[in-house]
Amino acid sequence: GAGVSQSPRYKVAKRGQDVALRCDPISGHVSLFWYQQALGQGPEFLTYFQNEAQLDKSGLPSDRFFAERPEGSVSTLKIQRTQQEDSAVYLCASSHGQGGSPLHFGNGTRLTVT
Amino acid sequence: AQSVSQHNHHVILSEAASLELGCNYSYGGTVNLFWYVQYPGQHLQLLLKYFSGDPLVKGIKGFEAEFIKSKFSFNLRKPSVQWSDTAEYFCAVTGSYNNNDMRFGAGTRLTVKP
- pLDDT confidence of residue B79: 97
Whether omega before A8 lies within 30 degrees of 0, making that bond cis, reads yes
Integer Cα distance of B46 and A57 in angstroms: 24
* Regions of chain B where pLDDT drops below 70: 1, 98-99
pLDDT tens for residues A74-83? 999 999 999 9
Put simply, the answer to whether A100 touches B97 (Cβ < 8 Å) is: yes
C-alpha distances (whole Å) from A74 to each of B77, B99, B100 are 37, 19, 18
- pLDDT confidence of residue A45: 92
> What does DSSP say about strands A5-7 and A19-24: parallel, antiparallel, or unpaired?
antiparallel
Note down the domain range covering A75: 5-113
What is the helix (H) or strand (E) element at residue A99, kind and residue range? none
Put simply, the answer to whether B106 touches A50 (Cβ < 8 Å) is: no
Q: Which of residues 9-48 of B touch A (CB under 8 A)?
A: 32, 34, 36, 42-46
- pLDDT confidence of residue B48: 95
- CB contact set of B39 (below 8 Å; sequence gap of 6+): B45, B86, B87
Q: Is the minimum CB–CB distance between A109 and chain B shorter than 8 Å?
A: no
Domain count, chain A: 1
pLDDT tens for residues B5-25? 998 899 999 999 999 999 999
pLDDT over 60 at A1, yes or no: no
CATH superfamily, domain at B3-113: Immunoglobulins (2.60.40.10)
C-alpha distances (whole Å) from B94 to each of A38, A73, A96, B4, B29 are 21, 23, 15, 10, 10
B51: nearest CA partner in chain A: A100
Q: Which of residues 48-107 of B touch A (CB under 8 A)?
A: 49, 51, 90, 94-107
Q: Is the minimum CB–CB distance between A8 and chain B shorter than 8 Å?
A: no
CATH number for the domain that contains residue A25? 2.60.40.10
- pLDDT confidence of residue B105: 95
> Is the separation of the CB atoms in B97 and A93 below 8 Å?
no
Across the interface, which of A48, A102, A107 has its CB nearest the CB of B43? A107
- What is the residue extent of each domain of chain B? 3-113
- pLDDT confidence of residue A43: 94
> Is the separation of the CB atoms in B69 and B93 below 8 Å?
no
pLDDT tens for residues A27-61? 999 999 999 999 888 999 999 999 999 999 999 99
Q: B17 to chain A, minimum CA–CA distance in Å?
A: 25
Mutate to test the interface with A, among B9, B44, B67 (most CBs of A within 10 A): B44
Integer Cα distance of B93 and B26 in angstroms: 9
